[in-house]
C-alpha cells in the first residue's frame, strides 16, 4: 500500500473537521495512531484509522476523498503515487504516477469526483478501460490496470514520453509529405487493430495521437470508443466526437464504423498538412454544418508543398459519404504505401459498396 504523506493526512483530517464529522481530539488521536503504526512499519491511511476507531463511516471517507480530489488535491489511491497532472478532459483527469508494486511510471486516468456518483458515467468510464484493454498493439497506448479505491474510479495506462500531433504542428508548423505519411501509416495500423476487434475510436484528432522521440506513433484516449458488438444500455446517447474532426454520420447520430475513424484521421492529416482544421466557424454548430454540406479547401491551395497524391488521400478520407472513403484501414494503408513508392498512384473514389456485416447495427 502507498504510504500517505503527512500533508495528505492533515488535508484529509482538516476536511473532516470542516464538515463536522470529527472533533479535534479525534483527529489528534487518529494522527498519533497513524504515526505510531508507521514507525512499526505498518503504514495506514488516516481515513482507515478513523473508520477503525469508529469516528467515521466508510461512506463518509469516500465522500471526503471525493471532496479532496475536487478541491485540486491529488486523489490517494492504493498502489499508486501520483506525481503531477498531465492532462484533463470531460471524462477525467490524467496523472503521471508511479505504480508502487512494480516501481514503474504510468499514466493514470481518474473519473472526476462529480461524475463518480452517476452510474451512467461510471459505466462509460469502465467501458472505456475495457475497450482499450482489448487492444494490444505497438501503436496504441495499452491499459495496465483498472479499479476503484475509496470511491475513486481509475485505470492505469502505458506512460508515453512524447508530444501530440497537435503540439508538433502548433509549435513547428505544417509537416512534410514524409512526416505525414509516416505518422499516417502508423495511425492507420492502430485503426486496423481496432477494426479487427470491431472497435471504433470515434474521437481521432491531433491531440489524441502521440509521437515519441523514436518517432513511434501512439493512439490514445478511447473515451468515446464503441465496441460494435456491445449494447451500452443505460448510457445516454449524445453526439460523440470533436466538432473540428467529427464525421457527418456522427453528427446525424447514424451508424458508425471504421470509415468514421478514417474521416477523422483525414481531418487530422489535413491539419498536419496545412496547420488548419478542415472547417472552422464561430460555433460548434457552424463547424458541424460545414462537415455536413461543404467541401474543404484543397490541401495544396493552403500548402503547395504537399504532393497531389497525398492531397488525394486526405480528401478521399474526408468524403461526406462513408461509401466514398477508403473502406478499411488496409485500403488506406495501401494508398499510403503507393504514394511513398517511386511511382505514386492517385487513389480514385470507388463506387458505393456494402461494408462487412460486423459494422452494421
Instruction: Check pLDDT > 80 for residue 67.
Output: no
Instruction: Give the fold, CATH level 3, of 163-359.
Output: Transferase(Phosphotransferase); domain 1 (1.10.510)
Share of the chain above pLDDT 90, in %: 52
Q: Residue 225: pLDDT band by 50, 70, 90 thresholds?
A: low
Instruction: Check pLDDT > 60 for residue 195.
Output: yes
Q: Which residue has the higher pLDDT, 130 or 317?
A: 317
Residue 203 designated active-site = yes
Instruction: Check pLDDT > 70 for residue 94.
Output: yes
pLDDT tens, 292-337? Answer: 999 999 999 999 999 999 999 999 999 999 999 999 999 999 999 9
Helix segments in 71-176, DSSP class H:
119-133, 165-172
Q: Same CATH fold, 163-359 and 80-158?
A: no
As a whole number, the mean pLDDT across the chain is: 85
- The 3-state DSSP class for residue 7 equals helix
Residue with cell 511510471: 105
Instruction: Check pLDDT > 70 for residue 241.
Output: no
Instruction: Check pLDDT > 90 for residue 223.
Output: no
The C-alpha atoms of residue 216 and residue 52 are separated, in whole angstroms, by 49
149-153-159-162 Cα dihedral, nearest 10 degrees: -140
Predicted TM-score (pTM) of this structure = 0.72
Of 51-60, 199-208, 214-223, least confident by mean pLDDT is 214-223
Contact between 228 and 359 (Cβ < 8 Å): yes
Superfamily of domain 80-158 in the CATH hierarchy:
Phosphorylase Kinase; domain 1 (3.30.200.20)
The C-alpha atoms of residue 175 and residue 56 are separated, in whole angstroms, by 57
Among 330, 329, 331, 322, smallest CA distance to 353 is for 322
Q: Please report, for residues 130, 153, 270, the alpha-carbon distance to residue 62 in angstroms, rounded to integers and kept in the order given.
A: 24, 11, 46
Q: Which of 7, 182, 203, 324 is catalytic?
A: 203
Domain ranges of the chain: 6-70, 80-158, 163-359
pLDDT tens, 22-43? Answer: 998 998 899 999 989 888 888 8
Question: Burial, 5: exposed, middle or buried (Cβ in 10 Å; 0-12, 13-18, 19+)?
Answer: exposed
Amino acid at each position: 500500500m502507498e504510504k500517505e504523506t503527512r500533508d495528505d493526512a492533515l488535508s484529509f483530517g482538516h476536511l473532516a473537521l470542516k464538515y463536522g464529522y470529527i472533533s479535534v481530539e479525534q483527529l489528534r488521536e487518529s494522527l498519533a495512531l497513524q504515526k505510531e503504526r508507521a514507525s512499526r512499519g505498518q503504514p495506514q491511511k488516516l481515513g482507515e484509522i478513523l473508520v477503525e476507531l469508529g469516528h467515521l463511516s466508510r461512506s463518509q471517507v469516500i465522500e471526503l476523498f471525493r471532496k479532496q480530489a475536487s478541491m485540486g488535491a491529488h486523489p490517494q489511491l492504493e498502489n499508486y503515487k501520483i506525481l503531477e497532472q498531465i492532462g484533463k478532459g470531460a471524462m477525467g483527469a490524467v496523472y503521471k504516477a508511479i505504480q508502487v508494486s512494480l516501481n514503474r511510471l504510468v499514466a493514470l486516468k481518474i473519473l472526476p469526483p462529480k461524475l463518480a456518483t452517476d452510474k451512467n458515467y461510471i459505466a462509460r468510464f469502465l467501458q472505456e478501460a475495457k475497450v482499450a484493454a482489448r487492444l494490444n498493439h505497438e501503436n496504441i497506448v495499452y491499459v495496465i490496470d483498472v479499479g476503484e479505491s475509496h470511491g475513486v474510479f481509475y485505470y492505469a495506462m502505458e506512460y508515453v514520453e512524447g508530444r501530440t500531433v497537435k503540439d508538433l504542428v502548433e509549435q513547428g508548423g505544417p509537416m512534410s509529405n514524409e512526416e505525414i505519411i509516416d505518422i499516417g501509416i502508423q495511425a492507420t495500423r492502430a485503426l486496423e487493430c481496432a477494426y479487427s476487434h470491431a472497435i471504433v475510436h470515434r474521437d481521432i484528432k491531433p491531440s489524441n495521437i502521440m509521437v515519441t522521440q523514436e518517432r513511434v506513433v501512439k493512439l490514445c484516449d478511447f473515451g468515446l470508443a464503441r465496441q460494435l458488438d456491445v449494447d451500452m444500455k443505460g448510457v445516454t446517447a449524445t453526439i460523440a466526437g470533436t466538432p473540428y474532426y467529427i464525421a457527418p454520420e456522427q453528427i446525424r447520430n447514424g451508424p458508425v464504423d471504421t470509415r468514421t475513424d478514417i474521416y477523422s484521421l483525414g481531418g487530422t492529416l489535413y491539419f498536419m498538412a496545412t496547420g488548419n482544421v478542415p472547417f472552422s466557424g464561430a460555433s460548434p454548430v457552424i463547424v458541424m454544418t460545414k462537415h455536413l454540406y461543404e467541401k474543404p479547401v484543397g490541401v495544396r491551395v493552403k500548402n503547395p508543398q504537399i504532393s497531389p497524391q497525398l492531397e488525394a488521400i486526405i480528401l478521399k478520407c474526408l468524403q461526406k459519404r462513408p461509401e466514398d472513403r477508403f473502406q478499411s484501414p488496409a485500403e488506406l494503408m495501401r494508398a499510403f504505401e503507393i504514394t511513398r513508392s517511386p511511382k505514386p498512384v492517385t487513389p480514385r473514389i470507388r463506387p458505393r459498396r456494402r461494408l462487412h456485416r460486423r459494422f452494421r447495427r
